[in-house]
Structure 1
Amino acid sequence: MSGWTLTLKQAPALRLDLRTLSPAALAELSADAVAKLGVWHGNESIALGELFTIAPRSDHELHLEGDLSRADRIGWQLAGGRIHVDGPAGDYLGAGMSGGEIITRGPAGLLAACEMSGGRLEIGGDAGDYAASALPGSMDGMRGGTLLVRGSAGARFGDRMRRGSALVFGDAGDFLASRMVAGTIAVAGRIGAHAGYGMRRGSVVCAGTAPTVPPTFVANDANIAVFWQLLARDLARHGGVFATLPARRVHRHLGDLAAGGKGELLLCD
């Protein structure tokens, strides 16, 4: 078995679809076989060797290097292994992944981690709209695993999210956790308008500037000290602002009352 380093020769004229590339799929192939693999460039299949310089690795990982902002579906439905992206990634990064690990050193496009059910995805920069959400036409968003966004996140982060943990170390856009069913979202920076719109259950931890609480949320004075310590310590292990959570006080708001009122916004002092 062997891992591979694929270095992009030049920016592609059209978008690439890299859904067929995974550590497991390439592990038993020779360099010549890897070079002959077809990937979609626009509506044309093109040999991987025409786009990338290919070099073997001894650690069984898949490394992608270069400006891959036009490369979509990296880590599509990944079930195991590790993928490193040394640069930006395109749309659908880690979509449908159920295991393994993906790490990027740059930003990601739209719909990162959509319908993710397991594994770990770390985005080194910003994430586009609809991260940790549902694929177009689907009812289920992120369903498990851990998503870390080291930069900021776009609009509709966690839309229809059902399970798992998603942390944003920067700011988050409008409609954070919209239609959320369950799971945990934590944001270190500012949060846009309409947070928790249509939220049914789940927890949103606001570790930075407190957002405007929507009128369909109500303050709750129940003692949640034990629950909060468990949740805060779990988030603290990821570092950054989240490391301070166990020592901070929290104010709880329940909602969205228009959708059952069992979700919660947790505002930290």
Structure 2
Amino acid sequence: MAEEQDSRRASLFPAPPPFYTHFTPENKDKLKEFQASAAKDSDGDGGNASKKLPAELVCLIPPKPPTDQYHSFGQIWSLPERHPTLKELNIPQLFPEPNNESYNVDRAQELRRLSKSLLLNYLELVGIMGMSPEEYAEKVYHLRIHLINIHELINNYRPHQARETLIAMMEEQLEKTRQETEDNKKACAKIRVLMGSLSSFDAGGLLDTTADSSTTATSSAAADTSDAATAAAAAANSHSGSNGASSGGEERDKSSWEALQQAGLIQ
């Protein structure tokens, strides 16, 4: 039975645990009633109440969170999570252990050495399979140990790889920001040059001549309009004065319209 449970936990897609059938609304109601009755009991506490629970209700109480280690898919994981060493996994370590002061192991050289040794063991395995195939197990074990050590050395490069990747990303972003800043400065310089050329641009005197002629025409038109309006107003006033107050508002309006028509202000 224990072996069956271990194989179930270690399988890639394990079946759900058998106690999942106890998670029913009826059992949840029973658990609430049991906890309510245990709370009313002055002698009962949480630990004793959990021991007195029926078997189908015990699994409904969540376990305490792990503090040291926990099991998952047939493997033991430690808290806080960390990568176990080869010694902790009872695997022979084929490269020297670094000292505490500095890491003086050349990983690249050790990887080359292990790769050559792995190739040599593979050639020996091929020879053994041709002469005495029953002795293959030892060479396969050696190949496995070499591959695990190579993988361990490669994993030791992960922090260095992460730092170098982050440094490369930051340098790329910095270079991109500098390039954008330089492009903005060049665009601002071009705009300043263009604005400076527009301030001194006269198109061969055409702009000044046109401005002078338009100003003169506007001034003369304004003077004519002012004179015509003054004459129309004077004529309206003189005409309204000769007719007297008896002419009324209609006569004043009529004379004003006639004066404006004579001045050419209206059609």
User: What TM-score, normalized by structure 2, do the two folds share?
Assistant: 0.20
Larger helix share, 1 or 2: 2
User: What TM-score, normalized by structure 1, do the two folds share?
Assistant: 0.20
Rg larger for: 2
Larger strand share, 1 or 2: 1
